Amino acid sequence: ENFAKIDYDFGEIILAMASDRAGNIWVGAEAGLFKITGTSVLAKYDSDNSELYPAPVSGIAFDRDNRCWIVQSGAGVLYRDGLGLWHRLPEFSDITTEEASHPMFVDSKNRLWIGTYQGIYTIDIDSYVGTPVIQVFPNPVPAGYSGTLTVRGEDISGSDILVFDSGGKLVSSTSASGNSQGIPVPSRPGLYIVVIKSGNTYTGRTKFVVLK
């Protein structure tokens, strides 16, 4: 036969498909993310067995290092690291269109492109997931600290410094006037994520903790 049907429950709709560098096919569907070799489903990733959210997977792409990047409708953008752990990019949590396919593509410069109803986004993958070049002082932030935090990094002047809480909510946004910029201390203790945004491109990130 010249064709075959994969008999598997992917949910009501399939929204995305992509091939990794090893030739495996990945399927984004209402029921999660699926890895296929030949006509066999080798793995399923969903909110029950991984760090994915209970939402359809509507976009898939693979970068130069074969990391899997996905969009989950209503949950944002995630990528899978070399240890098999999923990481969410909180600055994309506003991608909330349900049951829509989001085109994703990695170009020759290892930049991720994402098409959405809100517009086209790009991520400089090498800067974003590489060795952090962004630092926050003090970190951790002592309980009751009343000063400002300092964010330092190469070439951040003119960029936006976005601070998100661990749930993906934007806490503050500051424009960097130099490569060292003060930002306000979040009012609540917890883990926070700092993201550097230049135009529509996300160029760096780091984390800090506010102690109780």
70-92: pLDDT as tens digits = 998 777 889 988 767 788 887 77
Same domain assignment for residues 124 and 151: no
Q: Look up residue 64 and give its DSSP letter.
A: T
Same domain assignment for residues 150 and 64: no
Please report whether residue 1 resides in a domain: no
Report percent pLDDT > 70 for the chain: 94
Alpha-carbon distance of 212 to 190, in angstroms, equals 8
Higher pLDDT, 96 or 162: 162
Distant-in-sequence, close-in-space partners of 22: CB < 8 Å, separation ≥ 6: 66
pLDDT score at 187: 92
Same domain assignment for residues 152 and 61: no
Rounded to the nearest integer, the mean pLDDT of the chain is 87
CATH number at residue 110: 2.130.10.10
Q: What is the tally of structural domains in the chain?
A: 2
Does position 185 have pLDDT exceeding 90, yes or no? Answer: yes
pLDDT score at 83: 63
pLDDT score at 68: 96
CATH number at residue 187: 2.60.40.3580
Q: Look up residue 167 and give its DSSP letter.
A: T
Higher pLDDT, 56 or 82: 56
pLDDT score at 11: 81
Q: What is the pTM of this model?
A: 0.66
- pLDDT tier, 202 (very low <50, low <70, confident <90, very high otherwise): confident
Q: What is the mean pLDDT of residues 104-129?
A: 89
pLDDT score at 87: 82
The range of the structural domain enclosing residue 116 comes to 14-128
Same domain assignment for residues 119 and 150: no
Same domain assignment for residues 31 and 113: yes
pLDDT score at 18: 96
Same domain assignment for residues 155 and 99: no
Same domain assignment for residues 103 and 141: no
The residue written with tokens 């992917």 in the block is: 10
Alpha-carbon distance of 140 to 145, in angstroms, equals 10
- pLDDT tier, 128 (very low <50, low <70, confident <90, very high otherwise): confident
Same domain assignment for residues 40 and 99: yes
Same domain assignment for residues 119 and 166: no
Measured CA distances, 57 to 47, 103, 207 (Å) = 11, 11, 26
Does position 142 have pLDDT exceeding 90, yes or no? Answer: yes
pLDDT score at 181: 96
